[in-house]
């Protein structure tokens, strides 16, 4: 009784049944062979071909008595999904992607004013990918941290844990990520020609010495307390770093809560001008030096961070994991940080990925990014169309843009180049260099009125004037 009930209830497929579905598909393309009769290269190719099918079968729930019917349907659909020899798959790919791009153009006009969203998705981002832009308008890197505790599991007790976890992330990242110079953290500055006397000078003198007492001129910096806290910057570390960069200054820093640094500058080597000018005289030459020369050099001094990274934000995904997303990019240096999980790092600049990880990683990135951009509004486009486009861009081992510059790298025929853009320029260049046109490509064949090697034109049929008894036709 229990066995009869089990046959009518849907259940997951067993491993043997999954294997049977794959074997049925193989029989459609190799009727006289099984999987084990194939050579090693054929088995590797079929494993890659059926990998998506195996993943989909993991989630199939089926009534056992319908298994044979299900297997035949899958095998028939697999056979019908094969592309015929000579099929113009590029035209189908262009139609599929072009329809979505047209709709994206309309959506871009409707979202006027949303500058960030327009750059990150839609037609501008799509054109950046096709043109293989080396400097995208918005460059960023996203990654997770190596600390496994920075994950919030969904439960009513953890609803208020987000701010706490973000604070822990900022404690871990600190000032090691964002590139900051003195101007970035400075609120106000002031040049003094008479030595000030702050109440915390005596305490500083006890700890660090009284060398600053010998100098009487300098610059006072008032720093932004929010940025000091946000990036976990310490005044004593900033003061020591500036002193190591400049030989003629001594920094006196206040307690952390007062966010102030007095920079005493040695002006003993300065001499007054022999003649006064409109901007500088014997009375103001020291103030001029401090304000116009010394202050800009101090302000441009980089205190911390990775070059190119301007800021970062922390976001939580649907699984409760926190991601750090940078504004600005330096993929190689970010990947070298010890507190970053290198298996999760990803840049939105294809050239950074290509230089660090190679062409295969770039190919995977382009497929995922094009899928995200084109399907950003929830619509569907077949992954094979995107894969075909990306394979054209990466099949030579380097990134080739879908433009006239990419066609120059592919060494295509002169007529093919002229049929795309800059027709007269390509004809003049081909004539000057004596390029040869073999009229093999599709564009060249159409221009010259020759049958293209596509579809039924892929093969040539010749009539046999002396047919055999079976009246056969030779196929060449």
More confident call, 39 vs 163: 39
| pLDDT given for residue 264 in this prediction | 93
- Name the band, by pLDDT with cuts 50, 70 and 90, for residue 120: low
Share of the chain above pLDDT 90, in %: 25
User: Are 194 and 274 found together in one domain?
Assistant: yes
| pLDDT given for residue 358 in this prediction | 93
For the stretch 51-75, pLDDT in tens is 888 888 888 888 888 889 999 999 8
Which region among 44-48, 212-216, 330-334 has the lowest average model confidence (pLDDT)?
44-48
| pLDDT given for residue 154 in this prediction | 47
- 329 within some domain: no
User: Are 76 and 98 found together in one domain?
Assistant: no
| pLDDT given for residue 270 in this prediction | 85
Assess whether pLDDT exceeds 80 at residue 408: no
Question: Minimal CA–CA distance to 31: which of 79, 70, 87?
Answer: 79
User: Are 7 and 65 found together in one domain?
Assistant: yes
Mean of per-residue pLDDT scores for the chain: 83
For the stretch 228-266, pLDDT in tens is 998 999 999 999 999 999 998 999 999 999 999 999 999
Residues pairing with 251 in the sheet: 263
Instruction: Indicate the pairing of strand 346-347 with strand 260-265.
Output: unpaired
> Alpha-carbon torsion 410, 416, 422, 426, what sign?
positive
Assess whether pLDDT exceeds 60 at residue 110: no
CATH for 253? 3.30.1360.140
User: Are 242 and 194 found together in one domain?
Assistant: yes
Which region among 32-41, 113-122, 190-199, 377-386 has the lowest average model confidence (pLDDT)?
113-122
- Residue that terminates a domain, selected from 381, 410, 439: 410
Answer yes or no: are the C-beta atoms of 404 and 422 closer than 8 Å. yes
For residue 79 the two structure tokens come to 């056979």
User: Are 464 and 367 found together in one domain?
Assistant: no
Which region among 3-12, 113-122, 349-358 has the lowest average model confidence (pLDDT)?
113-122
| pLDDT given for residue 468 in this prediction | 61
User: Are 66 and 31 found together in one domain?
Assistant: yes
| pLDDT given for residue 454 in this prediction | 86
**Furthest CA-CA distance within the chain:** 117
d(CA 128, CA 97): 15
- Name the band, by pLDDT with cuts 50, 70 and 90, for residue 222: very high
- 402 within some domain: yes
- Name the band, by pLDDT with cuts 50, 70 and 90, for residue 116: very low
Stretch 148-158: mean pLDDT: 53
Highest mean pLDDT pick, 74-78, 162-166, 196-200, 294-298: 294-298
Stretch 305-322: mean pLDDT: 86
CATH for 115? 1.10.1790
Stretch 199-206: mean pLDDT: 90
Give the number of domains in the chain.
Answer: 4
- Name the band, by pLDDT with cuts 50, 70 and 90, for residue 328: confident
Q: How far is CA 72 from CA 62, 75, 127, 152, in A?
A: 14, 5, 43, 45
More confident call, 465 vs 88: 88
Assessment of whether the complete model's pTM goes beyond 0.85: no
For residue 413 the two structure tokens come to 């025929």
- Residue that terminates a domain, selected from 265, 280, 304: 304
- 155 within some domain: no
User: Are 280 and 193 found together in one domain?
Assistant: yes
Assess whether pLDDT exceeds 60 at residue 404: yes
Stretch 65-91: mean pLDDT: 86
- 239 within some domain: yes
User: Are 256 and 276 found together in one domain?
Assistant: yes
Assess whether pLDDT exceeds 60 at residue 346: yes
For the chain, state the CA radius of gyration: 34
User: Are 300 and 223 found together in one domain?
Assistant: yes
| pLDDT given for residue 337 in this prediction | 87
Domain that holds residue 96: 85-136+353-410
Assess whether pLDDT exceeds 60 at residue 127: yes
User: Are 200 and 190 found together in one domain?
Assistant: yes
- 312 within some domain: no
Stretch 14-19: mean pLDDT: 88
Assess whether pLDDT exceeds 60 at residue 213: yes
């Amino acid at each position: 009784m229990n066995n009869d009930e089990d046959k009518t209830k849907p259940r997951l497929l067993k491993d043997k049944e999954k294997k049977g579905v794959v074997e049925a598909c193989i029989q459609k393309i190799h009727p006289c062979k099984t999987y084990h009769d194939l050579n090693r290269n054929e088995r590797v190719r079929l494993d890659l071909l059926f990998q998506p099918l195996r993943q989909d079968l993991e989630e199939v729930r089926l009534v056992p008595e319908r298994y044979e019917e299900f297997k035949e349907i899958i095998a028939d659909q697999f056979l019908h999904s094969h592309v015929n020899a000579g099929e113009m798959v590029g035209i189908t790919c262009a139609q599929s992607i072009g329809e979505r791009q047209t709709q994206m153009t309309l959506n871009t006009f409707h979202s006027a004013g949303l500058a960030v969203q327009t750059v990150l998705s839609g037609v501008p981002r799509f054109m950046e990918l096709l043109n293989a832009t080396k400097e995208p308008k918005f460059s960023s890197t996203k990654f997770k941290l190596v600390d496994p505790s920075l994950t919030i599991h969904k439960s009513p007790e953890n609803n208020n844990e987000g701010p706490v976890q973000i604070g822990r992330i900022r404690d871990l990242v600190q000032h090691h990520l964002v590139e900051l110079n003195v101007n970035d953290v400075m609120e106000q500055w002031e040049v003094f020609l008479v030595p000030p006397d702050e109440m915390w000078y005596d305490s500083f003198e006890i700890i660090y010495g009284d060398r600053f007492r010998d100098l009487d001129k300098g610059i006072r910096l008032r720093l932004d307390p929010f940025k000091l806290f946000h990036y976990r910057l310490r005044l004593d570390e900033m003061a020591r770093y500036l002193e190591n960069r400049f030989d003629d200054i001594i920094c006196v820093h206040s307690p952390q809560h007062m966010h102030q640094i007095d920079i005493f500058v040695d002006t003993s080597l300065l001499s007054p001008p022999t003649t006064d000018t409109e901007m500088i005289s014997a009375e103001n030459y020291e103030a001029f030096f401090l304000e116009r020369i010394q202050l800009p050099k101090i302000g441009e001094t980089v205190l911390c961070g990775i070059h190119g990274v301007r800021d970062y934000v922390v976001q939580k995904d649907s699984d409760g994991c926190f991601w750090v997303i940078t504004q600005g990019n330096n993929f190689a240096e970010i990947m070298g940080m010890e507190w970053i999980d290198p298996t999760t790092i990803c840049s939105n600049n294809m050239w950074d990925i290509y230089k660090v990880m190679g062409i295969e990683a770039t190919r995977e990135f382009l497929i995922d990014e094009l899928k995200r951009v084109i399907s950003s509004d929830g619509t569907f486009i077949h992954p094979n169309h995107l894969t075909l486009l990306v394979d054209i861009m990466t099949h030579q081992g380097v990134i080739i843009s879908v433009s006239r510059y990419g066609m120059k790298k592919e060494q295509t025929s002169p007529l093919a180049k002229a049929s795309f853009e800059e027709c007269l320029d390509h004809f003049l260049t081909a004539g000057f260099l004596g390029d040869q046109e073999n009229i093999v490509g599709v564009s060249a064949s159409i221009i010259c009125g020759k049958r293209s090697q596509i579809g039924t034109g892929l093969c040539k049929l010749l009539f046999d004037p002396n047919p055999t008894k079976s009246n056969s036709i030779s196929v060449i």
